[in-house]
């Protein structure tokens, strides 16, 4: 399996809802990433997990809560979002990301299109 999968494809939620985005890969990659992408903009890094540990949090508001239950799964828990959080949320994975590791291509999932009403 050489793909990163994400569910759901689309999500509409109210500002008081709690929802979760899911990401899965079976390539044995040990680094997983959450990105947020607005229309016509580049992906914007949110979180990075390396070996199931949160390594990078790019000052993301606490209404976004990541979780890495195991090396294949990555979740993003959403609570009390704002309309400006509406975007495409992309998951990505790479073989590794520690300094000194071999160069790492990042493979993206298809994304979840999130709309916050």
Question: Which of 18, 26, 41, 77: binder of other proteins (CB under 8 A)?
Answer: 41
Residue 61 in tokens: 């508001």
**Exactly one of 61, 98, 115, 117 binds other proteins (CB under 8 A); which one?**
98
Tokens of 88: 């495409």
Kind plus residue range of the DSSP H or E element containing 35 = strand 31-37
Binding pattern for the stretch 9-38 against other proteins, x by CB under 8 A and - elsewhere: ------------------------x-----
Which residue number, 41 or 77, has a Cβ lying nearer to other proteins?
A: 41
Phi, psi of 84 (to 5 degrees): -70, -5
Please state, in angstroms and rounded to a whole number, the distance separating the CA atoms of residues 79 and 101. 35
Say whether residue 45 binds other proteins (CB under 8 A): yes
Q: Kindly report each contact of residues 51-55 with a partner whose C-beta sits within 8 Å and lies 24 or more positions away, as own/partner.
A: 55/97
Count of residues interacting with other proteins (CB under 8 A)? 23
Residue 105 interacts with other proteins (CB under 8 A): yes or no: yes
Please give the Cα distance from 88 to 110 (Å, whole number).
Answer: 9
Instruction: Using CB under 8 A, list all residues that contact other proteins.
Output: 33, 40-43, 45, 48, 50, 55-56, 90, 97-99, 103-111
């Amino acid at each position: 399996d050489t793909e990163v999968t994400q569910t759901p494809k689309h999500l509409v939620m109210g500002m008081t809802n709690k929802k979760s985005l899911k990401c899965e890969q079976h390539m044995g990659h040990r680094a997983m990433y959450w990105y947020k992408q607005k229309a016509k903009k580049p992906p914007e890094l949110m979180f990075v997990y390396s070996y199931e540990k949160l390594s990078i949090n790019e000052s993301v508001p606490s209404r976004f809560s990541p979780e890495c239950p195991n090396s294949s799964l990555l979740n993003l828990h959403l609570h009390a979002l704002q309309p400006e959080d509406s975007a495409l949320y992309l998951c990505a994975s790479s073989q590794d990301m520690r300094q000194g590791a071999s160069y790492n291509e990042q493979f993206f999932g298809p994304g979840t299109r999130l709309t916050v009403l």
